[in-house]
Amino acid sequence: MPALSGDLVVFTIASLLAIGFALAMVVQKAPVRSVLSLVVTFFGLAIFSIQLAAPFVAVLQVFVYAGAILVLFLFVIMLLNLGQEAAEEDRRPLQKWLGLVAALALGGVLSGAALRAPTPKGMRPPAVVPLADEIPTIGRLLFSDYLLAFEALSFLLLVAAVGALLLSKRRFE
Protein backbone atom coordinates (compact mmCIF):
# COMPACT_ATOMS: atom_id res chain seq x y z
CA MET A 1 0.00 0.00 0.00
CA PRO A 2 1.29 3.48 -0.64
CA ALA A 3 2.60 5.27 2.41
CA LEU A 4 -0.27 6.67 4.39
CA SER A 5 -0.46 10.29 5.34
CA GLY A 6 0.53 10.76 8.93
CA ASP A 7 3.18 8.14 8.52
CA LEU A 8 4.85 9.36 11.66
CA VAL A 9 1.81 8.79 13.84
CA VAL A 10 1.36 5.29 12.56
CA PHE A 11 5.04 4.62 13.04
CA THR A 12 5.00 5.85 16.60
CA ILE A 13 1.98 3.75 17.54
CA ALA A 14 3.35 0.71 15.78
CA SER A 15 6.77 0.99 17.37
CA LEU A 16 5.28 1.51 20.82
CA LEU A 17 3.11 -1.55 20.30
CA ALA A 18 6.00 -3.62 18.96
CA ILE A 19 8.48 -2.74 21.69
CA GLY A 20 5.91 -2.88 24.45
CA PHE A 21 4.68 -6.33 23.52
CA ALA A 22 8.20 -7.53 22.86
CA LEU A 23 9.01 -6.62 26.45
CA ALA A 24 5.81 -8.31 27.54
CA MET A 25 6.91 -11.40 25.61
CA VAL A 26 10.09 -11.52 27.64
CA VAL A 27 8.48 -10.78 30.96
CA GLN A 28 5.57 -13.18 30.63
CA LYS A 29 5.93 -16.42 32.53
CA ALA A 30 3.26 -18.34 30.67
CA PRO A 31 4.50 -19.31 27.21
CA VAL A 32 1.09 -18.86 25.64
CA ARG A 33 0.99 -15.23 26.66
CA SER A 34 4.50 -14.77 25.30
CA VAL A 35 3.35 -16.12 21.98
CA LEU A 36 0.42 -13.77 21.86
CA SER A 37 2.56 -10.78 22.74
CA LEU A 38 4.88 -11.77 19.95
CA VAL A 39 1.95 -11.90 17.56
CA VAL A 40 1.18 -8.30 18.34
CA THR A 41 4.82 -7.36 17.90
CA PHE A 42 4.77 -9.01 14.51
CA PHE A 43 1.77 -6.99 13.51
CA GLY A 44 3.73 -3.92 14.45
CA LEU A 45 6.57 -5.12 12.30
CA ALA A 46 4.14 -5.80 9.47
CA ILE A 47 3.05 -2.18 9.67
CA PHE A 48 6.68 -1.11 9.46
CA SER A 49 7.15 -3.22 6.37
CA ILE A 50 4.17 -1.58 4.75
CA GLN A 51 5.60 1.81 5.57
CA LEU A 52 8.89 0.67 4.09
CA ALA A 53 7.13 -0.03 0.81
CA ALA A 54 7.22 -3.81 1.21
CA PRO A 55 3.56 -4.79 1.55
CA PHE A 56 4.26 -8.22 0.17
CA VAL A 57 6.75 -8.88 2.92
CA ALA A 58 4.29 -7.47 5.41
CA VAL A 59 1.56 -9.90 4.45
CA LEU A 60 4.07 -12.69 4.19
CA GLN A 61 5.15 -11.92 7.71
CA VAL A 62 1.63 -12.07 9.05
CA PHE A 63 0.82 -15.12 6.98
CA VAL A 64 3.90 -17.16 7.75
CA TYR A 65 4.99 -15.96 11.16
CA ALA A 66 1.77 -15.08 12.86
CA GLY A 67 -0.33 -17.46 10.83
CA ALA A 68 1.81 -20.56 10.75
CA ILE A 69 4.93 -20.53 12.87
CA LEU A 70 3.40 -19.06 16.00
CA VAL A 71 0.32 -21.21 15.67
CA LEU A 72 2.71 -24.11 15.55
CA PHE A 73 4.27 -22.81 18.74
CA LEU A 74 0.88 -22.61 20.37
CA PHE A 75 0.10 -26.10 19.18
CA VAL A 76 3.29 -27.48 20.70
CA ILE A 77 2.85 -25.55 23.93
CA MET A 78 -0.63 -26.92 24.33
CA LEU A 79 0.45 -30.39 23.29
CA LEU A 80 3.13 -30.43 25.98
CA ASN A 81 0.72 -28.53 28.22
CA LEU A 82 3.42 -26.11 29.37
CA GLY A 83 0.92 -23.54 30.53
CA GLN A 84 0.94 -24.51 34.16
CA GLU A 85 4.66 -25.12 34.49
CA ALA A 86 5.65 -23.72 37.90
CA ALA A 87 7.70 -20.60 37.25
CA GLU A 88 10.22 -20.99 40.07
CA GLU A 89 12.75 -18.27 40.78
CA ASP A 90 15.82 -18.14 38.55
CA ARG A 91 18.61 -19.49 40.77
CA ARG A 92 21.36 -18.03 38.58
CA PRO A 93 21.64 -14.32 39.43
CA LEU A 94 24.94 -14.00 37.58
CA GLN A 95 23.49 -15.34 34.36
CA LYS A 96 20.48 -13.13 34.87
CA TRP A 97 22.29 -9.85 35.41
CA LEU A 98 25.05 -10.52 32.95
CA GLY A 99 22.43 -11.45 30.42
CA LEU A 100 20.62 -8.19 30.95
CA VAL A 101 23.86 -6.25 30.73
CA ALA A 102 24.91 -8.07 27.58
CA ALA A 103 21.54 -7.50 25.91
CA LEU A 104 21.49 -3.81 26.78
CA ALA A 105 25.12 -3.27 25.84
CA LEU A 106 24.74 -5.06 22.54
CA GLY A 107 21.52 -3.23 21.80
CA GLY A 108 23.17 0.08 22.58
CA VAL A 109 26.25 -0.61 20.58
CA LEU A 110 24.31 -1.95 17.62
CA SER A 111 21.90 0.95 17.46
CA GLY A 112 24.80 3.33 17.87
CA ALA A 113 26.64 1.59 15.05
CA ALA A 114 23.51 1.55 12.92
CA LEU A 115 23.06 5.30 13.44
CA ARG A 116 26.69 6.03 12.76
CA ALA A 117 26.76 3.84 9.67
CA PRO A 118 27.08 5.95 6.50
CA THR A 119 23.81 6.07 4.61
CA PRO A 120 24.35 3.98 1.47
CA LYS A 121 24.28 6.42 -1.44
CA GLY A 122 21.73 8.50 0.47
CA MET A 123 18.04 8.21 -0.33
CA ARG A 124 17.21 7.24 -3.87
CA PRO A 125 14.73 9.44 -5.72
CA PRO A 126 11.23 7.87 -5.79
CA ALA A 127 11.86 4.81 -7.90
CA VAL A 128 10.39 4.01 -11.28
CA VAL A 129 8.50 0.75 -10.79
CA PRO A 130 4.84 1.30 -9.92
CA LEU A 131 3.86 -0.36 -6.69
CA ALA A 132 1.55 -2.82 -8.41
CA ASP A 133 4.58 -4.45 -10.03
CA GLU A 134 6.28 -5.21 -6.76
CA ILE A 135 5.23 -8.85 -6.69
CA PRO A 136 6.12 -9.61 -10.33
CA THR A 137 9.50 -8.02 -9.68
CA ILE A 138 10.05 -10.28 -6.68
CA GLY A 139 8.98 -13.27 -8.72
CA ARG A 140 11.34 -12.38 -11.52
CA LEU A 141 14.20 -11.90 -9.09
CA LEU A 142 13.47 -15.20 -7.40
CA PHE A 143 13.80 -17.00 -10.67
CA SER A 144 16.74 -15.07 -12.05
CA ASP A 145 19.31 -13.65 -9.65
CA TYR A 146 18.28 -15.67 -6.62
CA LEU A 147 17.43 -18.90 -8.41
CA LEU A 148 20.17 -20.92 -6.77
CA ALA A 149 19.31 -19.69 -3.30
CA PHE A 150 15.65 -20.33 -4.08
CA GLU A 151 16.26 -23.94 -5.12
CA ALA A 152 18.53 -24.54 -2.16
CA LEU A 153 15.81 -23.14 0.04
CA SER A 154 13.18 -25.45 -1.40
CA PHE A 155 15.47 -28.38 -0.72
CA LEU A 156 16.08 -27.12 2.80
CA LEU A 157 12.34 -26.98 3.42
CA LEU A 158 11.90 -30.52 2.18
CA VAL A 159 14.68 -31.75 4.43
CA ALA A 160 13.24 -29.84 7.34
CA ALA A 161 9.83 -31.42 6.79
CA VAL A 162 11.28 -34.92 6.67
CA GLY A 163 13.50 -34.23 9.66
CA ALA A 164 10.63 -32.90 11.74
CA LEU A 165 8.58 -35.95 10.84
CA LEU A 166 11.35 -38.32 11.92
CA LEU A 167 12.11 -36.43 15.09
CA SER A 168 8.56 -36.29 16.37
CA LYS A 169 7.84 -39.84 15.27
CA ARG A 170 7.57 -42.18 18.24
CA ARG A 171 9.81 -45.22 18.00
CA PHE A 172 8.09 -48.65 18.02
CA GLU A 173 4.37 -48.76 17.20
Partner 1 sequence: MSPTLSAALEGAGKIAFVWGVVLAAMLPNLIWMERRVAGLIQDRPGPNRVGPFGLLQAFADVLKMFMKEDVVPLYADRVLHTLAPFILLVPSLTTFAVIPFGSKVPLFGREIPLVIADVNIGILYVFALASVGVYGLVLAGWASNNKFALMGGIRSSAQVISYELSMGLAAIATLMAAGSLRLVRVVEYQAGGTFLGFLPRWNCLTQPLGCVIFIVAAFAETNRVPFDLPEAEAELVAGYHTEYSGFRFGAFFMAEYLNLVASSMMMATLYFGGWSLPFLPSSGLLGGLLSIAVFFAKTMFFVFLFMWVRWTLPRFRFDQLMDLGWKALLPLSLLNLLWTGALILLKVI
Partner 2 sequence: MNRLWLIPLLPLAGFVLNGLVALLAASARAEAELGKDQPKARLPYAQRLFHGVVGVGSVGLAAVLAFAALVPWTLESLGHAEGIGPVVQHVYTWMAAGDYTIDVAFRLDALSAVMLSFVTFVGTLIHVYSVGYMQEEEGYGRYFAFLNLFMFAMLMLVLADNLPLLFVGWEGVGLCSYLLIGYYYDKDFAVAAGKKAFIANRVGDVGMVLGIFGIFALFGTADFSFVDLAKRAALAPGAHVSVYAVCLLLFLGAIGKSAQVPLYVWLPDAMAGPTPVSALIHAATMVTAGVYLVARCSAVFVLAPDALTLVAWIGAGTAIFAASIGLAQNDIKKVLAYSTVSQLGYMFLACGVGAFSAGIFHVFTHAFFKACLFLGSGSVIMSMHHEQDMRKMGGLAARIPQTFITMLAATLAIAGVFPLAGFFSKDLILGSVAASGHWFLYAVGLFTAGLTAFYMFRLVSMTFFSAPRGDPHALEHAHESPPTMTIPLWVLAFFSVVAGFLGVPAALGGSDRIGRFLEASVAHPEIGEMSHGLEIGLMLLSLGVAVTGLVWAWRWYGRAAGAPEAVSPQAATFYERSGLLGRLVANKWNVDEGIERLILSPFRRIGTFLWRGFDALVIDGIANASAFLVELAGDLMRFFATGRVRNYALAFSLGVFVFVLYVWVR
Partner 3 sequence: MTGTLPGVAPMAVPPAAYLVVGTLLFAIGLAGALLKRNALSIFLSIELMMNAVNLLFLTYARMRGDMAGQMIVFFVIAIAAAEASVGLAIFVALFRARRTVDVDKIALLKW
Q: Does 72 bind partner 1 (CB under 8 A)?
A: yes
Please give the residues from 104 up to 123 whose contact with partner 3 meets the rule CB under 8 A. 104, 106-108, 110-111, 114-115, 119-121, 123
Alpha carbons 141 and 150: distance in angstroms, whole number: 10
Please give the residues from 42 up to 61 whose contact with partner 3 meets the rule CB under 8 A. 42, 45, 48-49, 51-54, 56-57, 60-61
Closest CA to 55 of 148, 168, 134: 134
The residue ranges that bind partner 2 (CB under 8 A) are: 92, 95, 98-99, 102-103, 105-106, 109-110, 112-113, 116
Q: Does 1 bind partner 1 (CB under 8 A)?
A: yes
Which residue type is seen at 100? L
Give me the least distance between CB of 155 and partner 1, in Å please: 16
Segments in 28-84 forming alpha helices (H): 31-51, 55-60, 70-80
From partner 2, partner 1, partner 3, none, interface partner of 40 (C-beta below 5 to 8 A by class):
none
Alpha carbons 48 and 63: distance in angstroms, whole number: 15
Residue from the set 43, 94, 151, 156 that interacts with partner 3 by CB under 8 A: 156
Alpha carbons 159 and 173: distance in angstroms, whole number: 24
